[in-house]
Chain A
């Protein structure tokens, strides 16, 4: 099941690459300057020809006459940046604590896992909203809040896998050779956890992009003049009866991006997790056999 054989996963990867390239190179790749206003062109529907350029306004324009597609590409910068930074921060914290808990066990494990259980019992969006309200909005505060609410997910997964690896022979050997705890955790255990953690991180990017847009939609996330996809939907909401494209287009970008990340993670899990792959194949085989039998009889 290589990537080019799974066409949907390939499309997902292409979409993610396109969005990332476009948002990073927004100055060169956006069809219009995302901040150029034009009162004469305001709230133009999609595909309206532009008076100043040979390119049409593909997705129309917003209430200030700015090109919607260019705005979306600009907003993608913040949405993706929050997603990636949030995943990196929460992943680092969660993986390190999960390694400690799983490797040392005992009291370390009890304390860390108690914190994890406590936090998983909490409604995560609620917690994020409240902390963000107390901290005040802003890019790094959003990242911080998302890291605070999402680290337990990584800690749980890492701990479970570390505990089963800890008992294996190669760790025993490493201990006999005289490796210290830190070396064993980061050089011997961590590399074995890389693929499940990467799969989890991919899923989490999608989740954080959605969470960021919810926070921005509620007015707690990114503040103007900065903008993100969630913020654009919130801003466009008041025009929903007259200029539907202001709401439809940015939401569609969030949807496609999150869907792509989820598809890619599903594909990566199927490829890297032999148990999962075997299960799908086994299910299919049984089914095929059954239908063959039915046909025969």
Chain B
């Protein structure tokens, strides 16, 4: 077990290092950092001056060393906010995690109910409706769904606020969390259905039926066996919910990292963008690590 944990943790460290290098490559090699920071109409003199003052005229390996120093100092000063970028990003982290976590709390029970219902009646009308509903989750544009919900529940009915944080009160989080959760509900419900169908096709179910066990209790048996992959996938969903929050946050002006990133792009604030991308990536890598560790505890086969 320890060996598995160590190798898994080592892998995560490698991915984080890769993310670090990648942020440098994308920001300083693929894109010209000066172009990325200045508006297109800036004069050549201004460009040259900025290039020299930030050390972007140096050879690449020196630039990379500068990058390491800059990251150590909080990814450099955000041009837009005039404070170090990293603390700014970290201060937005709780809002993003709160939104993604709330969405997961909606998604898991909803998809268990839908997937379970569909698996108990394969090829029935209910199964088909649930199938299309879950395919809808992976086919819908989340920001569009968000706008539609705003249109219906805020503009037309006036039940819920159109956006904002509202001190984290439940009224404010419902619409963004539902918007974010729908895609996960779709994926998880389909997965739950097929995991349960797999179980129902196994011989032990025949045995249970043969000895006269009620369908209700058989369901309890199958759901327990199907639970492990479902739990893993729910963990994966947490990672994709954090990822999806980028767009949804901007629709509901939710003060998380996603809307910060988009504002930073609008302000051409390269250092802030780099910090936001790096923090988001690290969070998702850590979530993935956590899932794998949980999985190893649940399923001894993985540890071997």
Report A251-279 CB contacts with B as 1/0, cut-off 8 Å: 10011001101110010000000000001
Interface residues in A174-211 (C-beta closer than 8 Å to B): 206-207, 210
Q: Identify the stretch in A20-28, A33-41, A115-123, A150-158 within 8 Å (CB) of chain B at 4 or more residues.
A: A115-123
Report B243-276 CB contacts with A as 1/0, cut-off 8 Å: 1101100100000000001100110000001000
Which residues of B sit under 8 angstroms from A126, Cβ to Cβ? 243, 246, 277, 280-281
Which residues of B sit under 8 angstroms from A279, Cβ to Cβ? 194, 197-198, 201
B288 at the interface (CB under 8 A from A): yes
B147 at the interface (CB under 8 A from A): yes
Given the known interface contacts A206-B138, A217-B143, the answer about A134 and B261 at a Cβ–Cβ threshold of 8 Å is no
Q: B242 and A233: CB pair below 8 A?
A: no
Interface residues in B279-297 (C-beta closer than 8 Å to A): 280-281, 284-285, 288
Q: B141 and A251: CB pair below 8 A?
A: yes
How many A-B contacts at CB < 8 Å in the complex?
154
22 A-B interface contacts by CB (under 8 A): A122-B281, A123-B284, A127-B277, A129-B277, A131-B26, A133-B265, A134-B27, A213-B144, A214-B141, A214-B142, A214-B247, A217-B143, A219-B266, A233-B143, A248-B151, A259-B139, A262-B139, A283-B200, A283-B201, A286-B201, A287-B120, A290-B215
Q: A255 and B139: CB pair below 8 A?
A: yes
Given the known interface contacts A129-B261, A134-B27, A134-B30, the answer about A254 and B141 at a Cβ–Cβ threshold of 8 Å is yes
State in angstroms the CA–CA spacing of A131 and B136 once bound together.
29
Interface residues in B23-65 (C-beta closer than 8 Å to A): 23, 26-27, 30-31, 36
Q: Which of A218, A233, A266, A283 contacts B197 (CB 8 A)?
A: A283
Identity of the chain B residue whose Cβ is nearest the Cβ of A210 in the assembled complex: B141
B140 at the interface (CB under 8 A from A): yes
Which residues of A sit under 8 angstroms from B247, Cβ to Cβ? 125, 214, 217-218
Report A204-233 CB contacts with B as 1/0, cut-off 8 Å: 001100100110011110000000001001
Identity of the chain B residue whose Cβ is nearest the Cβ of A260 in the assembled complex: B139
Which residues of A sit under 8 angstroms from B148, Cβ to Cβ? 247-248, 251
Which residues of A sit under 8 angstroms from B273, Cβ to Cβ? 130, 133
Q: A266 and B200: CB pair below 8 A?
A: no
Given the known interface contacts A134-B27, A286-B201, the answer about A255 and B265 at a Cβ–Cβ threshold of 8 Å is no
Write the residues of chain A forming the contact surface with B, with a CB cutoff of 8 angstroms: 8, 117-118, 121-127, 129-131, 133-136, 206-207, 210, 213-214, 217-220, 230, 233, 237, 240-241, 244, 247-248, 251, 254-255, 258-259, 261-263, 266, 279-280, 282-284, 286-287, 289-290, 293-294
Which residues of A sit under 8 angstroms from B31, Cβ to Cβ? 133-136
Number of chain B residues whose Cβ lies closer than 8 Å to a Cβ of chain A: 62
Given the known interface contacts A240-B147, A287-B120, the answer about A218 and B139 at a Cβ–Cβ threshold of 8 Å is no
Write the residues of chain B forming the contact surface with A, with a CB cutoff of 8 angstroms: 11, 14-15, 18-19, 22-23, 26-27, 30-31, 36, 119-123, 128, 131-132, 135-136, 138-145, 147-148, 150-151, 155, 194, 197-198, 200-201, 205-206, 209, 215, 239, 242-244, 246-247, 250, 261-262, 265-266, 273, 277, 280-281, 284-285, 288
Q: Which of A136, A247, A262, A294 contacts B147 (CB 8 A)?
A: A247
Which residues of B sit under 8 angstroms from A213, Cβ to Cβ? 141, 144
State in angstroms the CA–CA spacing of A263 and B139 once bound together.
10
Which residues of A sit under 8 angstroms from B200, Cβ to Cβ? 282-283, 286-287
Which residues of B sit under 8 angstroms from A218, Cβ to Cβ? 247, 250, 262, 265
State in angstroms the CA–CA spacing of A8 and B123 once bound together.
13
Which residues of B sit under 8 angstroms from A133, Cβ to Cβ? 31, 36, 265, 273
| Apart from A118-B18, A286-B209, 6 more pairs, CB < 8 Å | A133-B31, A214-B143, A248-B151, A266-B131, A280-B197, A287-B120
B9 to chain A, nearest CB (A): 13
Which residues of A sit under 8 angstroms from B30, Cβ to Cβ? 131, 134-135
Q: A129 and B246: CB pair below 8 A?
A: yes
Which residues of A sit under 8 angstroms from B266, Cβ to Cβ? 219
Q: B265 and A122: CB pair below 8 A?
A: no
Given the known interface contacts A125-B243, A218-B247, A259-B135, the answer about A130 and B277 at a Cβ–Cβ threshold of 8 Å is yes
Q: B135 and A233: CB pair below 8 A?
A: no
Identity of the chain A residue whose Cβ is nearest the Cβ of B138 in the assembled complex: A262
Q: A286 and B205: CB pair below 8 A?
A: yes
Which residues of B sit under 8 angstroms from A129, Cβ to Cβ? 246, 261, 265, 277
Which residues of A sit under 8 angstroms from B246, Cβ to Cβ? 125-126, 129
Q: B136 and A118: CB pair below 8 A?
A: no
State in angstroms the CA–CA spacing of A207 and B200 once bound together.
31
Which residues of A sit under 8 angstroms from B281, Cβ to Cβ? 122-123, 126
A182 to chain B, nearest CB (A): 31
Identity of the chain A residue whose Cβ is nearest the Cβ of B155 in the assembled complex: A241
Given the known interface contacts A133-B273, A240-B155, A283-B201, the answer about A266 and B243 at a Cβ–Cβ threshold of 8 Å is no
A1 to chain B, nearest CB (A): 11
Q: Which of A136, A251, A287, A289 contacts B144 (CB 8 A)?
A: A251
Q: B285 and A121: CB pair below 8 A?
A: yes
Given the known interface contacts A220-B265, A251-B147, the answer about A262 and B135 at a Cβ–Cβ threshold of 8 Å is yes
B122 to chain A, nearest CB (A): 5
B80 to chain A, nearest CB (A): 15
Q: Which of B23, B150, B285 contacts A240 (CB 8 A)?
A: B150
